[in-house]
Every structure is written in C-alpha cells, then in structure tokens.
Amino acid sequence: MPGQIVVGTDGSPAATAAVRWGADDAARRGCPLRLVSVVDHWAYGIAKFPTSGGDPLTRHAERALAAAEAVVREHRPDVPISAEIVEGIPARTLRDKGKEATEIVLGSRGLGGFAGIVVGSVSSHVAGQAPCPVVVVRPGWSGGRGEIVVGVDDSPECDPALAYAFEQARLHGCGLRAVHAWRLPAHPLAPEITYDVEEVREARRRVAEEKLAGPRRGYPDVAVHEESVYGHPVDALIQASRTADLLVVGSRGRGALGSAMLGSVSRGVLHHAGCPVAVVRPPC
C-alpha cells in the first residue's frame, strides 16, 4: 500500500492551502492523508502557568484539525483521512514524521510567523532536514497551470529531484519543463582567462541531456521540454515557476542546524517561487 502523505496544519490560510494540495496529491497517488497539528506549550510558557477551563493551545489544534478534515471531506471525499495532535517542537516533530511518509506538505508560513516573511522557520527547517520530499504551499494557491518544472544540474543531489518531478508529471498528466541554468566560470585572480560562450552552452546542454536520459526512459509518456538558460539558477527557476503547478528542486545543503541544510538555490526559490515548491533531498 502506498505510504501516507503528512500535512501539518495550524489553521492558517497557508496551512489550508497545504491541506488542499496534500488531498489532491493523495487522490492522485491513491494513498491516505495524515493531518498533524503540533502543540508547543513551552514556546508560550503555558506549561508553567496552567489555566482553568482547559488548554487553549490544544483546543486550537482540535479546531485546526476539524477545519482541515472538513476541507478534505468537501474537496476530496474519497481520500482516507487520519488526524493527530502531537506535543513538541513543530519543526522537529514534523521533520520526524517524514520517516513514515511519502511526502510532507506544509504551508509557507503559519500563524506564528512575522509579517513580511514569505517562508517561515518551520517549513524551512523541515524542508532542510526531512528524509522525504517536502512541498511548501503559499496561501490561496489553486493550481491548474498544467506544467511541472524541475531544476537540473550535474550533481548527484539532482537525481532524486528528477525522479520525483517525473512522477509528479505522470500523476498530473502534464508536461515537464527541465530548466538548466548555467554561467561562465569566474576567475577573479586570473581575469585574462576567456571562454567560447557557444562551446560552454553546448557542453552544459549535453550535461542536462545526459542527466535526463535515465528518467526519460522510465517515463516515456511524460513530454519533456528542456530549457537551457544563461543566468543564476534561482532567477531562472523563479521565472519558470510563474507558469507551473509545481517547482521541484534538489538540495545539496550540508549544514548542521535548521534550514542551513537547505542549499542556496532551494532556499532562494522557497522564498520567491510563484507556485508550490517541492524540496527533495538525497536519501540519508
């Protein structure tokens, strides 16, 4: 039986968008949906100061889960649902849920976020450390653009991202745009070194073509459009995301703490992409 999709919810607009995206993907995959709300008492000092009339954070989590279940029942009534409230640190708890999940889906920023911050610390942390793909969805997302975009480079970390992107294109029944951004090597200490731009362009095109060859054989029915762009990968992927239903990136970050484990490209697109972003890390 396919693994479950875990969706973290706190009742925020972004979390509601994540619930809808997770329900859609569960329907596409034919797998169950697990709704999780995390209660962090220590963040508010509530554990030190009990109140009469019950725990307000737990009551809020119960309302958030009930609202999320109602969204799924209306939007995708055939998707099996389970729900749980977990006490702990949200980022750590949701990250650990990845051990039993096909993917984790989160809103870009929860109710505890600060105004002006596009992607919150919880989604950044989970995307940087979870052992499964993490999809981050902004509030109000509705989809329907008909294209999946994936970033391509010559790193080993790109392979699981490509596998996930091809599978999503198959599930969506749409085309895949593979974006390979490149720049000329810079040598500040040897500015006299020059390159033939067309030769470099052709070499980078071959890199992308070779990287895509294996997944293409595995998904012969997925139409692939290769796009080689001169420029920074973040800029190229953000531009491509404006016409996409999902942007998929790998992550090569190796930091020790929090979102430091996100690479610069995945961190950049999480903050600025015009569609949901899936961050796919290599197996640990």
In whole angstroms, what is the distance from residue 268 CA to residue 31 CA?
A: 31
Cα end-to-end span (Å), the chain: 23
pLDDT of residue 233: 92
Q: Where does residue 173 fall: left (phi above 0), alpha (psi -120 to 50 degrees), or beta otherwise?
A: left
Domain ranges of the chain: 4-137, 147-280
The pTM of this model reads 0.88
Residue 111: predicted pLDDT? 52
Say how far apart CA 20 and CA 235 lie, in whole Å.
28
Between 108-112, 129-133, 139-143, 145-149, the lowest mean confidence (pLDDT) is in 108-112
For residue 260, what pLDDT band results from cuts at 50, 70 and 90? very low
- Which residue is associated with the tokens 């396919």? 2
CA distance 249 to 8: 21
Mean pLDDT, range 202-218, rounded to an integer: 91
Q: Which helix or strand (DSSP H or E) is residue 86 part of?
A: strand 81-87
Domain spanning 4-137, CATH class:
alpha beta
What pLDDT shows up at residue 194?
60
Q: What is the CA radius of gyration of the chain?
A: 20
How does strand 134-137 pair with strand 175-182? unpaired
**Phi, psi (degrees; rounded to nearest 5) at 146:** 85, 30
Q: Is 262 helix (H, G, I), strand (E, B) or coil?
A: coil
Q: Tell me phi and psi for residue 273, to 5 degrees.
A: -65, 155
Kindly report the CATH class assigned to 147-280: alpha beta
- Residue 163: pLDDT over 60: yes
Same fold, 4-137 and 147-280: yes
Report which residue type is found at 76: R
Task: Name the band, by pLDDT with cuts 50, 70 and 90, for residue 217.
Answer: very high
Neighbour count for residue 122 (Cβ, 10 Å): 29
**Is the per-residue pLDDT at 254 higher than 50?**
no
Annotate 134-186 with DSSP letters as a single string. EEEE-TT------EEEEE--SSTTHHHHHHHHHHHHHHHT-EEEEEEEE----
Q: Report pLDDT digits (tens) over 97-135.
A: 999 899 999 999 755 433 333 456 889 899 999 999 999
CA distances to 16, 60, 125, 152, 254 from 75, rounded to whole Å, are 12, 22, 29, 33, 38
DSSP strand pairing (101-107 vs 175-182):
unpaired
Average model confidence (pLDDT) for the chain? 85
pLDDT by residue (tens digit) across 40-62? 877 555 554 455 556 788 899 99
Q: pLDDT at position 239, please?
A: 96
The pLDDT score that the predictor gives to residue 57 is 86
pLDDT of residue 16: 95
- Check pLDDT > 70 for residue 256: no
251 pLDDT tier (thresholds 50, 70, 90):
confident
Name the pLDDT band for 249 (thresholds 50, 70, 90).
very high
Cβ of 32: how many Cβ atoms within 10 Å? 16
Apex CA 113: angle with CA 108 and CA 119, to 5°? 30
Average pLDDT value for residue range 160-178 = 97
Confidence check: pLDDT of 1 > 70: no
pLDDT at 53: 57
When pLDDT is averaged across residues 146-168 and rounded to a whole number, the result is: 95
The pLDDT of residue 52: 56
Query: Which residues share a beta bridge with 107?
Result: 137
Residue 234 reports pLDDT greater than 90: yes
**By the 8 A CB rule, do 126 and 91 touch?**
yes
